[in-house]
Chain A
Amino acid sequence: MLNKEFLLKVGLAEMLKGGVIMDVTNAEQAKIAEDAGAVAVMALERIPADIRADGGVARMSNPTMIKQIQDAVSIPVMAKCRIGHFAEAQILEAVGVDFIDESEVLTPADEHNHIWKHDFKVPFVCGCRDLGEALRRIGEGAAMIRTKGEAGSGNIVEAVRHMRSVQSEMKRVQTLANDELMKYAKDLGAPFELVQYVKEHGKLPVPNFSAGGIATPADAALMMQLGAETNFVGSGIFKSADPEERAKAIVMATTYYDDPDKVAKASEKLGEAMAGLEMGQIPEAELLNKRGW
């Protein structure tokens, strides 16, 4: 499956490994993120916590705002389109974003179909809750997978659930005999060839990142130890009391995720983290991670 186009898409995802990708809403925040050591920024009009609070339909960001961010920083700039909204994706590609996130944080445009991502030259990242969902998105052409978690919640519990689910299902696939794979692929609802790939290699064919609820350096270290290769941090930085310091601390904790002394040091002297929500406080209909399939 590694044709040249896909090699380049996955290649950029490889370059982002071990780093932190930060949500930003303007050029000034993008500069703060870059100076703190972010490997990329996600340009969006409202961070997930505000999208959640404001309600209404959440759409692709305005190209003018994306261009301002592209002019402000030299690191890759990502942007989100709605699930299934391939025309938004075409616009983002035309604007020259480096990665598109087909994201459940925005209001879905299609309740049945995700974008056929192989048609694009720009790489895509998609969210997942389990292995089947991850492999379906890769089948459609995603070059990077992330956990959905629960964006804008400041609560790591859903990201942990999704990462553990992906990891344990991958371990399970490796224990299966060849004659059991087809049934397992059917149960997962995943493309058979990709299930075979996981059995053979013990990992996804594309990088596996984490998103949706990271608010502290400890959260970042937790997700890396659970198998994430990079962390997306959304509301966690710019909804905290001290975005600059927190951004730097989360970068440090992501690099040294397996060195508790360094994560402890990075956590010192930080102000208040974002408040965060208990999952039970979020009405079922407002859960972002239930969007897409």
Chain B
Amino acid sequence: MSKTIGVLALQGDYAKHAEVIRKLKYDTLFVRDITALKKCDALIIPGGESTTFLNLIDKLGLRKPLMEFGREKAIMGTCAGLIILAAKTDGLNFEPLKLIDLEVSRNAYGRQIDSFVADIELKINGAPARFEGVFIRAPKIVKVSPDVQPLAYYGDDIVMAANKNILVATFHPELTENLYIHNYFLTKFVS
């Protein structure tokens, strides 16, 4: 049976992630409630505004279902999605979901005029040496626990990391044509 990859669609660039998932021939579903979440084998939390996400997650009673989902199934989070999944972050009125044991600093490179595109270095066996990282008001991973494996770097900054079922990135693979990272998530974490 083919797997269904949900994309949390409360706000943000969820449509871009869904486009990539469809290109990789998986079924996809926009998740805005518990009923939809239950139909998913894995989930993507997209880029967007983390304050808006967490606000809606709590208002809609999605916190507990998402935490339960993330204890068993695979979740990928990009940018704001990473902030939502982190153990700790700065400047938020809301607790993140604590599904991956790392600490994040929000908007750590500055404002929009400091946003940038740069090659990042993937530390995955068999991966292409370089990947174009799109960093938009991006966060920084400032601390990781031993059970979290760094998977990519921009200079000294860890820009992608994972534990056994949660994959996070500070940049936006969904905004580039290169499908490698989504494909890596699907083959390594979902299948």
Residues of A within 8 A of B (CB): 4, 7-8, 11-12, 14-19, 34-40, 70, 74-76, 93, 96-99, 121-123, 248, 251-252, 255-256, 259
Contact = CB atoms under 8 A, between A and B. Distances in A.
Contacts of A15: 12-13, 47-49, 79-80, 136-137
B84 to A, nearest CB: 14
B91 A39 contact: no
A19 B112 contact: no
Contact of A255 (B11, B15, B47, B92): B11
Interface of B: 9-16, 32, 47-49, 51-52, 55-56, 59, 79-80, 91-93, 106-107, 110-113, 115-117, 134, 136-137, 172, 175
B17 to A, nearest CB: 11
B154 to A, nearest CB: 15
Contacts of A18: 9-12, 14, 48
B24 to A, nearest CB: 20
Max chain B C-beta neighbours (<10 A), residue from A36, A98, A259: A98
A37 B49 CA distance: 9
Given A8-B117, A18-B9, A74-B107, A38 B52 contact: yes
A207 to B, nearest CB: 10
A74 B56 CA distance: 17
A256 to B, nearest CB: 7
Contacts of B51: 34, 37, 74-75
Contact of B59 (A7, A34, A75, A252): A252
B52 A12 contact: no
B12 A12 contact: no
A12 B15 contact: no
Given A7-B117, A18-B9, A74-B106, A251 B56 contact: yes
B182 to A, nearest CB: 16
B66 to A, nearest CB: 16
A121 B106 CA distance: 21
- A-B CB proximity, top 9 nearest: A98-B112, A37-B55, A14-B13, A18-B11, A4-B117, A39-B49, A19-B11, A96-B111, A8-B115
Interface centre among A15, A39, A122 (most CB of B within 10 A): A15
A4 B175 CA distance: 11
Nearest to B177: A2
A74 B13 CA distance: 19
Contacts of B48: 15-19, 39
A15 B93 CA distance: 20
26 contacts: A8-B116, A12-B136, A14-B12, A14-B175, A15-B49, A15-B80, A17-B13, A17-B14, A17-B15, A18-B11, A18-B14, A34-B51, A35-B93, A36-B55, A37-B55, A74-B91, A75-B51, A75-B52, A93-B113, A98-B111, A98-B137, A121-B113, A122-B112, A123-B112, A251-B52, A255-B11
Given A12-B136, A19-B52, 9 more contacts: A11-B13, A11-B136, A14-B12, A15-B12, A18-B10, A39-B52, A74-B92, A75-B51, A76-B49
